[in-house]
Amino acid sequence: MQQPDMREADGQPPFSDTEEPADVVEALRRIIDEDGVLPAERVLAERLNVKRHQLRKALQMLRGFGELEPARSGRRSSSDTSLQSAKLVLSTNPLEVMEMRMILEPTLARFAAMRASPAEIARILAHAKSPAGMSPSQADQLFHRAIAAGSRNSLASELHILLHQVQNDSRLRFAGSDDETTAERIAQRDAEHAAIADAIAARDPNRAEKAMWDHLAVVQTKVASRLGIGSMNAA
């Protein structure tokens, strides 16, 4: 039996054949935010009451924005980005990852301030504060991924996904466990995220870029400290 349409449950009409892909994209983003993952296409199509071609177009848009990993195809058992990250982990270290993040992410924040849609800005603002009950690392990734999507640069978003996959590999022992992230650090990080989000919402690319760089410089210093390197000049 077909599942109830989530839009009808909210008092909205179901999607029609002429529905804009962006509307389906926003519905998919809400599911990702609430559930953390997307179910199978068949389940999604029934849940949203959309045709498969509409759903696939919206999924492709999310992949283009870097919010979803590339679709698996053929005989491959994992995505290309997963394979690439597994190889890169063996030849890099946490400080190199941070250096690359500091090259890429301030520019993504700049582009987001210039290009993000009102809906994307709303998501960036919403993810600036860590939700109760969510792990600190997941909350942090949702925020940074929302900015990457708002940059509207699909290639940069793919590189952003790859960097975070490398960063999250346990073999790098990159950021420690969530248990080591104190409430004080979460509050400080939320304030740093809020500064970035506010600059993006204000359409101020210079301020957004600098706020992101300042935020990542703090992270870089903490990573260096965990590695026993001591203070370092992030500039």
In a domain? residue 73: no
The verdict on residue 157 lying in a domain is: yes
Q: Does pLDDT of 162 surpass 50?
A: yes
| Residue 67: DSSP 8-state | S
The residues near 14 (Cβ < 8 Å, ≥ 6 apart) are 5, 7, 8, 49
Task: Tell me, yes or no, whether 41 lies in a domain.
Answer: yes
Residue 43 shares a structural domain with residue 101:
no
Same domain, 99 and 126: yes
Report pLDDT for 194.
98
Give the Cα separation of 229 and 125 in Å (integer): 34
Range 86-113 average pLDDT: 89
Highest mean pLDDT among 31-35, 126-130, 210-214: 210-214
Domain annotation covers residue 70? no
| Residues whose CB is less than 8 angstroms from the CB of residue 151 and which lie 6 or more positions away in sequence, other chains included | 107, 108, 109, 111, 112, 115, 116, 157
Structure tokens that stand for 108 in this block: 């993504």
Considering the domain architecture, whether residues 213 and 124 belong to the same structural domain is answered as: yes
The residues, any chain, with a CB within 8 Å of residue 184's CB and separated by 6 or more, are none
Q: Are residues 109 and 52 in the same domain?
A: no
148 and 40, same structural domain?
Answer: no
CA 100 to chain centre: 16
Residue 160 placed within a domain: yes
* pLDDT for position 144: 94
219: CATH: 1.20.120.530
The boundaries of the domain holding residue 156 are 80-226
Q: What is the pLDDT of residues 202-229, one digit of tens each?
A: 999 999 999 999 999 999 998 888 877 7
Rounded to whole angstroms, how far apart are CA atoms 6 and 215? 37
C-alpha to C-alpha distance for 111 and 205, rounded to whole angstroms: 7
In terms of domains, do 103 and 213 share one?
Answer: yes
Check whether residue 39 and residue 99 sit in a common domain.
no
CA–chain centroid gap for 171, Å, is: 22
Q: Are 208 and 144 in contact (CB under 8 A)?
A: no
pTM equals 0.68
- Which DSSP symbol is given to 68? S
Asked, for residue 74, whether it belongs to a domain, the answer is no
Average confidence score pLDDT of the chain: 79
Residue 147 lies in a domain: yes
User: Are 50 and 5 spatial neighbours (Cβ–Cβ below 8 Å)?
Assistant: no
pLDDT band at 74 (very low <50, low <70, confident <90, very high): very low
Tokens, residue 8: 């009808």
Helix, strand, coil distribution of the chain in percent, nearest 5: 70, 0, 30
Clarify whether residues 101 and 210 are in a common domain.
yes
Residues 66/158, Cβ–Cβ less than 8 Å = yes
**Are residues 112 and 208 both part of a single domain?**
yes
71 within some domain: no
Considering just the CA atoms, what is the radius of gyration of the chain in Å?
A: 19
Which tokens belong to 42?
């068949």
Nearby residues of 91 by Cβ (< 8 Å), 6 or more positions away:
none
Q: Residue 34 is part of a domain; what is its CATH number? A: 1.10.10.10
